[in-house]
Amino acid sequence: MARTAIAVLQPVWDCRWSQPGHRLSGVVDALQPESVWVCVRDGNRRNVSEDECQACPSWQLNSDNAVLASSGASIAAPARQESIDVLAVSVRALLAVIALALFALGFSILTSLLAIPVTVTLWMGAVAFAALAVWWRLPES
């Protein structure tokens, strides 16, 4: 029967016992008061490296991340929210560009009395797109 070995990655930032170390800006790593990560499992702050934490037998999942995992939410939710924000800004910019294009097109064909209804129609479309660009909200998913 075949056996499969699974390598389990225990990241420092997901450990219940790890905390960011006290760091000073503009100071080289050798002179820092603590390392990037410290372990507080035994009540003292002890410097740990990422490699040491990955092999630690006392590693425990942080309860905040466990709640996210049990609810079916992704730990990468902030990255997804940033992509939704970028999409919202892009859609708003596109709607604003369409509104400006319709307004400019309507203004450019306003040369005769018969073109007034077409121009007004284009301007009303421009106002609708401008209103969407300002007040429309993307669904939160």
* Mean pLDDT of the region 4-19: 69
* Mean pLDDT of the region 86-92: 83
pLDDT at 71 over 60: no
In the structure encoding, which two tokens stand for residue 133, read together? 């660009």
What is the pLDDT, as a whole number, of residue 82?
67
Candidates 30, 37, 34; CA nearest to 56 is 37
Alpha carbons within 13 A on the beta-carbon side of 84: 11
Lowest pLDDT segment from 31-35, 50-54, 74-78, 98-102: 74-78
On whether the CB atoms of residues 103 and 122 are closer than 8 A, the answer is yes
What is the pLDDT, as a whole number, of residue 140?
60
Q: Where are the domains of the chain?
A: 12-70, 77-135
- Secondary structure of residue 58 in the 3-state scheme: coil
Q: How many helices (H) and strands (E) are present in the chain, helices listed first?
A: 4, 3
Candidates 42, 24, 20, 44; CA nearest to 33 is 24
What is the pLDDT, as a whole number, of residue 21?
81
